[in-house]
Amino acid sequence: MRVFRTSYKDKDGQSHEVKNYYVELRDHIGAVRRFPGYIDKGQRNHLASRLRPLLIAGRLAIQ
């Protein structure tokens, strides 16, 4: 699982970072899932902590 911000280049070629954070993880199949997070650091950590048990439960269901 990783928490990050994406960046993009505008029409002039300048690089900009988006305001929102994203939470990226691999599901039980191995596919990468990306969830939009929040601007606030505390809220994004809360989102990541709520996604972690779902990820673990999905992996245990397959075994």
Residues 4-60: pLDDT tens digits? 888 999 999 999 998 888 888 777 778 888 888 777 777 777 777 777 777 776 654
Burial class of residue 17 (count of CB atoms within 10 Å of its CB; 0-12, 13-18, 19+): exposed
- Cα 22 to Cα 1: distance, rounded to the nearest angstrom: 10
Instruction: Identify the pLDDT of residue 24.
Output: 83
Q: What are phi and psi of 32, to 5 degrees?
A: -80, 130
Give residue 20's domain range.
Answer: 2-62
Task: Count up the domains in the chain and report the number.
Answer: 1
